[in-house]
Amino acid sequence: METRLLKKQMTAAYQYSYVRLVLNYYTLFETIGEKPVISERIISCCGQLNGLLKEHFSGKDVEEELLKLRRDITHEVEILTSYTDCFQIYEYVLNRMERKFKTLPETGFDDESFAKRLTEFVTDTKETAVMNGRIRQIIGQLPVRLTKQKFFSLVMEGLSVYIGSPKESLQDMMYTLSTESMAKLPLGMEEGHKDFFEVLEQFRHGDYKTMTAEGYEEAAAKLALACEGLTDESGLYIMLQDIINDFCVLVFAKPEAVIDVKEEEFYSSMTGEILEKFRKEDYSPVKDDFFDRLTQLEGRQEAYYERYLRAELPEESDEWNKNPDYVKAVNVDKLLSGSSFVELKEAGKRVETVLVDRSYLEEKTGEYFKELEEVFSVVSRPVARAIMAKVLSDLPVYFNSIDEIKEYIEGSLKSCLDEAEKETCKELLEELMDYENKLV
């Protein structure tokens, strides 16, 4: 890469990330201090981050350990995401049981009228992406009364759009389907997450056919508490990862960044003050002059980011991927993309685009269907239906016309003979339409 362009880009990235690191690091410090209970793993990650910051300021090379910490946190979030996916399956089941134990108002729409309303809602937009999103949301809430064979054929039909696409795209989708359907969960789910694991095991072995009102209330309360805990813990990991991403940018960009010494000292002194309070576990309020310096950071993020965006990278190629400066610039761009867990590029890795054909698709879906068969063999019917609904809502839209969509909706409603479940589905879909309409 041209040296002048690289220095300009790395300087803007360095300044932008340093400002963000100071602000986010202080927010993390405040959050940790306010939380009554913090998991041991998060405390450990904070300790590792603090140690690496101290080593970095003393001039040591921390890149390898920093990237390892980033991978560890990514794995932790994968585990928490898998718990969330599993609990969403059981939330679907419990939602559709609610009317068996509670008297709730009915929607007042017959199946045909409601199907008409849903179809109109789908077509009440000219944007294809919005329309497809609405279709997937509706499929995720409709009652499911499908045979396994029909379900598998719909999955195959939805995945057939990947024929002619890069294999990586299909592999990403298969990973999503496998994890969200509980067919393939990450290793180490129990380790460090005992409370979540115990709740999940209780739901896995729950008897939903003979569940009493008391059992339902207990299960709903446990699920709500677990989901709240997952949200809190995931939020802290994301906060940590965003700080680590900016830290990575500092490490990658520093050799080429041209920054005023006083500006660098300003940022490092603020980071150092937070670091010392963190290390001493002193969560008392910071001094007034620290807040005065924080206000001086206002507007800097936007200015530096705009400057960074003006420097565009050359288009990726095998030749460019051999250039370590180019790979570093690509990784900085990835870290600033807003995707906290984006995978970083390896130097020298060739860009190979292998396309999906029919045989490859059938091979991968066949493997997935075997995994699903094993899941379906051990779960109750309500859980299997919840899994089917989740999978179908994840797929690319496989309908060829509005008539097909309407037919699917009507078929789903009419095939459900459980009136309590059907009313709940209608209520949830009503809420979905109301929410979407408010956004317009």
327-341 pLDDT per residue, tens: 899 999 999 998 999
- How confident is residue 188, by pLDDT bands cut at 50, 70 and 90? confident
pLDDT surpassing 90 at residue 297: yes
Q: Give the pLDDT band of residue 68 (cuts 50, 70, 90).
A: very high
**pLDDT tens, 239-251?**
999 999 999 999 9
Report which DSSP code applies to 343.
P
Mean pLDDT (whole number) for 150-179: 95
* Residue 55: predicted pLDDT: 97
Alpha helices in 287-401 (DSSP H): 288-295, 300-309, 324-335, 358-376, 381-394
Least confident piece of the model among 100-109, 253-262, 299-308: 100-109
pLDDT at residue 319 above 90? Answer: no
Please identify which residue in the block is written with the tokens 């979030």: 77
pTM of the model: 0.89
Query: Would you say residue 4 has pLDDT above 80?
Result: no
| pLDDT, tens only, 104-163 | 877 778 899 999 999 999 999 889 999 999 999 999 999 999 999 999 999 999 999 999
Query: Tell me, what's the pLDDT at 10?
Result: 93
Tokens of residue 333, six digits:
């761009």
Give per-residue pLDDT as tens, 345-363: 886 566 567 899 999 999 9
Q: Whose CA is closest to 245, among 127, 362, 341, 335?
A: 335
Torsion of CA 211, 213, 214, 219, to 10 degrees: 60
What was the pLDDT predicted at 190? 86
Q: How distant, in Å, are the alpha carbons of 391, 415, 425 from that of 143?
A: 13, 8, 7
Answer with the residue of higher pLDDT: 384 or 287: 384
pLDDT tens digits along 205-234: 999 989 999 999 999 999 999 999 999 999
pLDDT for 347: 64
pLDDT score at 310: 85
- By C-alpha distance, which of 378, 435, 406 is closest to 142? 406
> For residue 59, is it left (φ>0), alpha (ψ between -120 and 50) or beta?
left
- Helix (H), strand (E) at residue 204: helix 194-204
The mean of the pLDDT values for the chain is 92
Contact 26, 246 (CB under 8 A): no
For residue 317, the model assigns a pLDDT of 63
Token output for 330: 């690509």
Q: How far apart are CA 274 and CA 416, in angstroms?
A: 58
Residue of higher predicted confidence among 191 and 122:
122
The 10s digit of each residue's pLDDT in 393-418 is: 999 988 889 999 999 999 999 999 99
Average of per-residue pLDDT across 162-166: 95
Tell me what pLDDT residue 439 has: 61
246 φ/ψ angles, rounded to the nearest 5 degrees: -65, -35
Give CA 296 to chain center in angstroms.
33
- Output the pLDDT for position 2: 66
